[in-house]
């Protein structure tokens, strides 16, 4: 392989790009991964992250050695948002691991499978021949390098460096995101309880690690307002002194996936494609699944020159399953976040949010309830017109979007389907 030509150029060596490079190389493809940071720079700044036990099977990532585990939790406790009310979602075994080490291991697996990493390369511009994307131009210090391949992958995270250059991959709301703010505490006067606790409504969570806790909040707010809300919420919940060890800021997508993950010569994955589980947790595992689907399709698609039609099978496999489920969850999430904290409490008390729903969203990325099981709690809430109206509207819209996404079209029928998709998700713009 000449370094500047390959079967696949993956842009972005974060968790999804590194994993994709590994999976593609394991299928015998020549893969070059371009990462803008230096090899010895931390691959991620968030420190610890959570990875559900079931994700090891789904992604093929080997289970960690004991020395790699910060801690593990047998279940997750969800509050609605008051602390004294909760459901324990058991069986959601979750590992806390160090993200920098995790990415380093993914990159090693990719290199062992034959992928080549080129660090300090910032992809700038897509190369095109007519409508077809044929690679990228990357800056390397003062120099420019050209990389060519039948398929280029945008795995650049929320900056979406390449996706932004392709008209048609956006719609109103495509750039919405949650800012995330996490504090690491020690020596707290009133420490959070053991395990992982997640609060619906304020969208906050705490997790206890050996010797410290994290307290996080993710919302669609500017960072300074988010920090103020964080101080207010956690100040009330855990008053008294605590030592701030470090603070972490970041962002996650709060947007629907584009109508297609592929164009001629381009595939979009991970946060760049908003194929990550909406809301907290499992962003990494759920972003890996489309990369795994893509690995099954790419060998033949590359042989066929990386055309949009050859890559289309990735769309079909993604949208008819995880894509439809995430569209449902995201539309429901918008509904949930439109409720006041008091309304979330009422919805919780009436049985609109149950341990079984939460278990299903963790395990299967979906909520499957017979219609009566929605109607009963809604009827119980008949005096809370605001909750019924907001939740009911979200439910109807979520079902409508999910049904549309499930019926993902052929490449030929795509334009009509995409117009309706943009209209449906544009509502959230
Ligand atoms: C505070 C916080 C906590 C989180 N906790 C969890 C958790 O517990 N569990 C979980 O599963 N998920 C968690 N997530 C979400 C998770 O971090 C993301 O879903 C995941 O990092 C997305 O991976 P990615 O590879 O798509 O993008 P990124 O991680 O953003 O990686 C993109 C990579 O591309 C590189 N890049 C960007 N532009 C270019 C360019 N032009 N050229 C070359 N390289 C480029 C970047 O340097 C980076 O290395 C959390 C997120 C935040 C912010």
Nearest atom in ligand 1 to 15's CA:
25
Residues lining ligand 1, Cβ inside 6 A: 11-17, 34-37, 43-44, 46, 49-50, 121-123, 155-157, 159, 161, 180, 182, 248, 250-252, 270-272, 276, 281-285, 287
Q: How far is the CA of 180 from the centre of ligand 1 (A)?
A: 12
Mean pLDDT of 50-60: 93
**Please, which pLDDT band fits residue 114 given cuts at 50, 70 and 90?**
very high
Q: What is the three-class DSSP state of 173?
A: coil
Model pLDDT, residue 379: 87
Burial label, 427 (beta-carbon count in 10 A; 0-12, 13-18, 19+): middle
Q: What is the three-class DSSP state of 195?
A: coil
What percentage of the chain has pLDDT greater than the value 70? 99
Q: What is the pLDDT of residues 195-217, one digit of tens each?
A: 999 998 889 999 999 989 999 99
Model pLDDT, residue 280: 64
Nearest CA to ligand 1 atom 12: 283
For 4-8, 45-49, 177-181, 254-258, which range has the lowest pLDDT when averaged over its residues?
A: 45-49
Nearest atom in ligand 1 to 49's CA:
8
Which residue, 210, 248, 32, is CA-closest to 121?
Answer: 32
Nearest atom in ligand 1 to 16's CA:
25
Length of the chain equals 429
Ligand 1 site-directed mutation target among 252, 268, 278, most atoms within 8 Å of CB: 252
Alpha-carbon distance of 107 to 101, in angstroms, equals 10
Q: What is the pLDDT of residues 389-424, one digit of tens each?
A: 898 899 899 999 999 999 999 999 999 999 999 999
Ligand 1 site-directed mutation target among 35, 70, 153, 157, most atoms within 8 Å of CB: 157
Mean pLDDT of 51-77: 93
More confidently predicted of 383 and 302: 302
What is the phi/psi pair of residue 360, to 5°? Answer: -65, -40
Q: Whole-prediction pTM value?
A: 0.96
Nearest CA to ligand 1 atom 29: 14
Q: From residue 405, how far is each of 43, 284, 318 by CA, in Å?
A: 33, 22, 10
Alpha-carbon distance of 198 to 261, in angstroms, equals 31
Alpha-carbon distance of 406 to 132, in angstroms, equals 27
Nearest atom in ligand 1 to 251's CA:
53
Q: How far is the CA of 143 from the centre of ligand 1 (A)?
A: 26
Ligand 1 site-directed mutation target among 17, 217, 283, 291, most atoms within 8 Å of CB: 283
What residues have CB less than 8 Å from 257, skipping those under 6 apart? 273, 274, 275, 318, 319, 323, 326, 327
Beta strands in 158-298 (DSSP E): 177-186, 196-199, 204-209, 212-219, 243-253, 262-263, 266-268
Which residue, 210, 133, 221, 141, is CA-closest to 178?
Answer: 221
Alpha-carbon distance of 56 to 285, in angstroms, equals 8
Alpha-carbon distance of 79 to 48, in angstroms, equals 22
């Amino acid at each position: 392989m000449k370094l500047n030509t390959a079967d696949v150029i993956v842009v972005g060596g974060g968790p999804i790009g590194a994993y994709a490079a590994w999976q593609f190389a394991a299928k015998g493809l020549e893969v070059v991964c371009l990462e803008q940071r230096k090899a010895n720079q931390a691959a991620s700044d968030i420190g610890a992250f959570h990875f559900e036990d079931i994700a090891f099977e789904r992604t093929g990532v080997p289970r960690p050695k004991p020395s790699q585990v910060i801690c593990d939790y047998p279940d997750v406790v969800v509050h609605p948002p008051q602390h004294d009310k909760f459901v324990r979602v058991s069986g959601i075994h979750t590992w806390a691991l160090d993200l920098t080490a995790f990415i380093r291991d993914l990159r090693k697996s990719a290199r062992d499978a034959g992928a080549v990493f080129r660090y300090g390369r910032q992809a700038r511009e897509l190369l095109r021949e007519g409508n077809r994307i044929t690679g990228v131009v990357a800056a390397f210090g003062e120099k420019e390098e050209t990389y060519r391949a039948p398929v280029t992958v945008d795995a650049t995270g929320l900056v979406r460096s390449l996706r932004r250059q392709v008209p048609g991959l956006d719609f109103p709301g495509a750039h919405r995101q949650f800012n995330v703010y996490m504090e690491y505490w020690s020596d707290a006067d009133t420490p959070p309880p053991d395990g992982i606790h997640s609060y619906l409504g304020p969208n906050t969570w705490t997790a206890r690690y050996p010797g410290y806790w994290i307290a996080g909040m993710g919302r669609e707010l500017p960072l300074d307002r988010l920090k103020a809300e964080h101080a207010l919420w956690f100040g009330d919940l855990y008053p008294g002194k605590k030592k701030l060890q470090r603070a972490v800021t970041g962002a996650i997508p709060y947007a629907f996936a584009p109508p297609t993950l592929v164009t001629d010569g381009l595939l979009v994955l991970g946060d760049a494609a908003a194929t990550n589980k909406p809301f907290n947790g499992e962003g990494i595992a759920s972003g890996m699944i489309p990369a795994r689907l893509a690995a099954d399709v790419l060998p033949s698609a590359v042989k066929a020159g990386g055309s949009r039609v050859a890559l289309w099978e990735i769309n079909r496999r993604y949208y008819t399953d995880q894509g439809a489920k995430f569209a449902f969850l995201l539309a429901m999430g918008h509904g949930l976040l439109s409720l006041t904290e008091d309304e979330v409490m009422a919805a919780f008390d009436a049985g609109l949010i149950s341990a079984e729903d939460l278990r299903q969203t963790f395990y299967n990325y979906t909520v499957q309830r017979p219609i009566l099981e929605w109607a009963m709690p809604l009827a119980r809430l008949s005096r809370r017109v605001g909750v019924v109206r907001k939740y009911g509207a979200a439910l109807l819209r979520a079902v409508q979007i999910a049904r549309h996404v499930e019926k993902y079209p052929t490449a030929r029928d795509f334009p009509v389907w995409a117009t309706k998709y943009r209209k449906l998700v544009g509502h959230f713009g």
